[in-house]
Amino acid sequence: MPSDSRIPAHALAVSLRPHPVFGKRVPVRKVANRTLLLLVMLFVLSLPAVPPPEGAIRPLWAEAADLQALRSYAAAVEVYEQIATLSPLDPEPLLSMGTVYAAQHRWPLAEDAYNRALTRDANNTRALAGLAAARWEQGDRRRAVELWEAVVPPCLGDANQAERHNSPPGARLRLALAYLDTDRLADAERMFQSELACGDNPTARLYLAMLQALDDPVAAKRELRAIAGNVIPPIAAGRDYLWAAIDQAEESDSPAQAAESLALAFMELNEWQLAHVALERALALDPNNPEVMAFFGHAQAQLGRPAFKHLVAATESRPNWPLGHYLLGLYYQKQGLYGLAAEELLATLRLDPGNAQAYVDLAAAYVGQGQYLAAEEALANAVAAAPDDPGFRLTQVRFYADHAFNITDRGVGAARAAADMAPDDPRFRDLLGWIYFLAGDPNLARLHLESAIRQDPHLTSAYYHLGMLHKLLGEEEAARFAFLRVVDLDTEGFYRSRAQATLREMGQ
């Protein structure tokens, strides 16, 4: 029976029929009484829902906010669902659910929550903007841009205009970045300027300066100069780096070199669309430059465009240039052509034998071919080439852990050495604990995994590894808690999918 003890209408309807076995007839008076009862209940159920008193919902909002702040997202969603049930016309709890799912990068669920909010308020701009972000992250760029355009009003200097038009926070900036990523540079510049017309935004200024750097370096520096000195470190670093790149471009011997110099700066900033524009200009001015060919091909590959012709032409034009072979090797690797990737990376190392990163990429190519001994040797060479860089040791340990390869012979020793290099880095402590788990030492595994979580309470991989340890030891409640934390915290989906599968195996 339902928890509210009301008898469902379909159950009442069944009770009016003769008994299927005995065929007992129900007296007419009882039938009439039951029919009247049924009609009354159907009438009551058809009445509009009465909103619950505010006092009944306010504590739920506070509870959900606390859970969300703790990143207990699954529990927060449950509470938002309760609020949504109690407030059947209010889109706010569904908007909050969309925000939670977006923070987890669970885009299909975020899209569903925003669509549910739109059924309650078809013109809700926050729901439309959230839906745009979800569509963008799932690859539907055209629809995302349409949705952002629908919620972003023009802003021509009135700092309060965006608020009056109920424009969602950040929507104009997201639309500008979408224009940039879809090669609509003039629209992007216009939208960044519109954002600045509504109020100062250091991010918009930095991107506007990037767009202006190729054609109007004076205007670009003016925007960079307007960025305050106390901005967040990534913006400050981008401002200073772009200023230096513009200076270098202005000192170049030719327009082609200036464009290449700015392109390299954009590549360092991971702004591949802008890098592509600059390299396209440099290539038009100097079509036989192998460096520009190689960088243009690499930018093409990053944007998912044809890159093979330019990368091969660069290596053929300048066969003794290690970076050309390296970029071609990365391209082959991205295409799953691991044998060809290994050949180009070996060519890179013959020309640049101390390139630790090339050894790491060579190891990945060997793993793609199933050659684990060769991959192990390549990673050992990477560590030897950069013995003071803990990142290469971390990559080496991950290789042993991910493939359960030579765990006791060399994996444990490599993990200890890595953890000794960075004792305060929870990632190293986590991997050391996982290596001990794989080596069959649960006590040391628990010690280091719990230490990693104390160092970083939001380290997804550590919770997953600790959950596997609890499961092995039969500590099911502790395992369940750890796996639920993985589901809450993982934004990439790698550990979440595994944790969810394990929870299903455990009957959770």
The residue extents of the domains of the chain are 9-46
- How do the residues of the chain divide into helix, strand and coil, expressed in percent and rounded to 5? 75, 0, 25
Q: What is the residue-averaged pLDDT of the chain?
A: 88
What's residue 228's pLDDT? 87
Classify burial at 57, counting beta carbons within 10 Å of its beta carbon; exposed 0-12, middle 13-18, buried 19 or more. Answer: middle
pLDDT value, residue 81:
97
Predicted confidence (pLDDT) per residue in 103-151, tens digit: 999 999 999 999 999 999 999 999 999 999 999 999 999 999 999 999 9
User: Cα angle vertex 84, ends 81, 87, to 5°?
Assistant: 155
Quickly list H helices, 107-184. 107-120, 125-137, 141-151, 161-164, 171-181
Mapping DSSP onto H, E and C, the string for 227-265 reads CCCCCCHHHHHHHHHHHHHHHHHHCCCCHHHHHHHHHHH
- Separation between Cα atoms, residue 445 and residue 435, nearest integer Å: 7
Segment 29-48 shows an average pLDDT of 42
- Under the banding of pLDDT at 50, 70 and 90, the label for residue 167 is confident
Q: What is the three-class DSSP state of 158?
A: coil
Residue 276 φ/ψ region, left for φ over 0, alpha for ψ in the -120 to 50 degree band, beta for the rest: alpha
pTM higher than 0.85, yes or no?
A: no
pLDDT, residue 429, reads 96
Q: Averaged over 250-258, what is the pLDDT?
A: 95
Q: Cα-atom radius of gyration of the chain, to the nearest Å?
A: 30
How far apart are the C-alpha atoms of 344 and 365, rounded to whole Å? 10
Give the mean model confidence (pLDDT) for residues 154-178: 69
Is the confidence at residue 310, as pLDDT, over 50?
Answer: yes
Whether pLDDT at 436 is above 50: yes
Per-residue pLDDT, averaged over 285-311, amounts to 96
Measured between alpha carbons, how far apart are the two ends of the chain, in Å?
Answer: 24
What are the angstrom distances between the C-alpha of 54 and each of 47, 59, 61, 83? Answer: 20, 9, 11, 11
- Among 24-28, 196-200, 236-240, 400-404, name the one with the lowest average pLDDT: 24-28
pLDDT at 338 over 60: yes
pLDDT band for position 508 (cuts 50, 70, 90): low
pLDDT of residue 157: 47
Report the candidate in 112, 178, 124 with the shortest Cα–Cα distance to residue 149.
178
Q: How far is CA 385 from CA 96, 391, 439, in A?
A: 49, 12, 28
Q: Report the C-alpha gap between 128 and 166 in whole angstroms.
A: 12
Question: Distances in Å between the alpha carbon of 14 and those of 4, 8, 382, 460?
Answer: 20, 10, 75, 51
DSSP-derived 3-state class of residue 70: coil
Q: Give the Cα separation of 298 and 256 in Å (integer).
A: 18
pLDDT reading at 16 higher than 50: no
85-108, pLDDT tens digit by residue?
Answer: 999 999 999 999 999 999 999 999
- pLDDT tens string 464-495: 999 999 999 999 999 999 999 999 999 999 99
Average pLDDT, integer, range 3-23: 34
Task: Assess whether pLDDT exceeds 60 at residue 29.
Answer: no
